[in-house]
Amino acid sequence: MAQDTVKIGLILPMTGPFASTGRQISTAAEAYMATHGDEVAGTKVELILEDDGGVPDQTKRIAQEMVVNEGVKVLAGFGLTPLAFAAAPIATQAKVPMVVMAAATSSITEKSPFITRTSFTLPQATVPLARWAADNDISKVVTVVADYAPGIDAENAFVNEFKNQGGEIVESIRVPVANPDFAPFLQRVRDAQPDAVFVFVPSGVGSAFMKQFQDRGLADAGIKLIGTGDVTDDDILNDMGDVAKGVITTHHYSAAHESAENDTFKQAFKDAGGDRPNFMAAGGWDGMALIYQALEKTGGDASGPALMEAIKGMEWESPRGPVSIDPETRDIVQDMYYREVKDVDGELYNVEFGKEEAVKDPAKAAKN
């Protein structure tokens, strides 16, 4: 007799302002299964996708429903930090692993011993950038971040590290998360005349930011734009136009990353109906890779504690490069790349020009 099917409950914003995240991750998860099959260690794997619309109460309700009524063995997805926070108590109560594929606030993995992550953390991406800025003739910076947990993480990480390196923060501005009007904020930045603006906005919001950066004449005023790679998200980068050229970001995944694993990933993503995968898609693909490898290791035992033990210390070659799961924090350890937006054969890409290797979440390292 074949063993029971292992159901993976994928909860994502498929509608609402962050639907691009849901589309990228669900396409990548389906692409992973199309490439690797739906059987692991003699066990059938089934993916169940549900739309939470980006509303935390919905995420929690769906997670509860999935584990109680549908017998889901692994919860996955979580497109935004508040959605991951909302589901965390369900993972703890049900002892069901929760694989965070998108949300990137440092503290998420501390909300339940059943949480692991295949995206990144904002401090992980930001600290290397603050060092790069200080080393590259940038001495005065205004920070602009989305006003919620990952934005605050990014602001804190940038401000602390940049000051440690002798830099000056002229002003720190926080903007609303969804549909922000950047114009008045960017006018203030222009008046403050910094060397650079550091920006974090969640995936999808970058286009609106870049348009206002252009319209307010910041580039013409000689103000550089630097940020985490969320602002030059591969999903929307190619439509940003010339204003994006030369923008320097740090992040864990670029569609332009050169490796056999990334070629396989990009082809599978296309075959599954996607266009260009972004860092969210990479988190979705790797989340599935982690679940598959954990099931392999337990011989198909999908009980929560067994899977969590298998996940700790797991290492693999991702489309982004080598990654592992820190056994102490259950958070992802990965290379952070320095990238510049360039025209590659008529399309805009984040072209990598350097990296910091095996970066752990610095926010947790500071606490431990």
Query: Which residues are near ligand PHB by CB under 6 A?
Result: 80-81, 102-105, 150, 202-203, 230
Query: Please, what is the minimum distance in Å from the beta carbon of residue 202 to ligand PHB?
Result: 3
Query: Please, what is the minimum distance in Å from the beta carbon of residue 225 to ligand PHB?
Result: 16
Query: Please, what is the minimum distance in Å from the beta carbon of residue 80 to ligand PHB?
Result: 4
CA neighbor of 304 nearest in space, from 48, 123, 142, 114:
114
Query: Please, what is the minimum distance in Å from the beta carbon of residue 72 to ligand PHB?
Result: 22
CA–CA separation, 340 and 352 (whole Å): 7
Q: Which amino acid is at 49?
A: L
Q: Do 348 and 238 meet the contact criterion of CB atoms below 8 Å apart? A: yes
Query: Please, what is the minimum distance in Å from the beta carbon of residue 123 to ligand PHB?
Result: 12
DSSP secondary structure string for all residues of 349-361: EEEEEEEEEEE--
Q: 98 to each of 32, 50, 57, 356, how far by Cα in Å?
A: 18, 15, 17, 28
Q: 164 to each of 134, 171, 228, 319, how far by Cα in Å?
A: 10, 16, 19, 33
Would you say 49 or 178 has its CB closer to ligand PHB?
178
Tokens 């958070």 correspond to 331
Would you say 203 or 334 has its CB closer to ligand PHB?
203
> What is the separation of C-alpha 149 from the centre of its chain, rounded to a whole number of angstroms?
14
Would you say 167 or 277 has its CB closer to ligand PHB?
277
Q: Do 13 and 86 meet the contact criterion of CB atoms below 8 Å apart? A: no
Would you say 178 or 306 has its CB closer to ligand PHB?
178
CA–CA separation, 103 and 78 (whole Å): 6
Assign 83 to helix, strand or coil. Answer: helix
Would you say 126 or 203 has its CB closer to ligand PHB?
203
CA–CA separation, 258 and 245 (whole Å): 20
Residue number closest to ligand PHB, CB atom? 202
Q: Where are the alpha helices (DSSP H) in the chain?
A: 19-36, 56-69, 81-94, 122-135, 149-164, 183-192, 206-215, 260-271, 279-298, 304-311, 362-367
Query: Please, what is the minimum distance in Å from the beta carbon of residue 19 to ligand PHB?
Result: 13
Would you say 146 or 291 has its CB closer to ligand PHB?
146
Would you say 103 or 236 has its CB closer to ligand PHB?
103
CA neighbor of 162 nearest in space, from 189, 133, 187:
133
Angle (deg, nearest 10), helices 19-36 and 279-298 = 40
Would you say 194 or 202 has its CB closer to ligand PHB?
202
Q: Do 84 and 78 meet the contact criterion of CB atoms below 8 Å apart? A: yes
Query: Please, what is the minimum distance in Å from the beta carbon of residue 150 to ligand PHB?
Result: 4
Query: Please, what is the minimum distance in Å from the beta carbon of residue 363 to ligand PHB?
Result: 13
Query: Please, what is the minimum distance in Å from the beta carbon of residue 143 to ligand PHB?
Result: 16
Would you say 77 or 150 has its CB closer to ligand PHB?
150
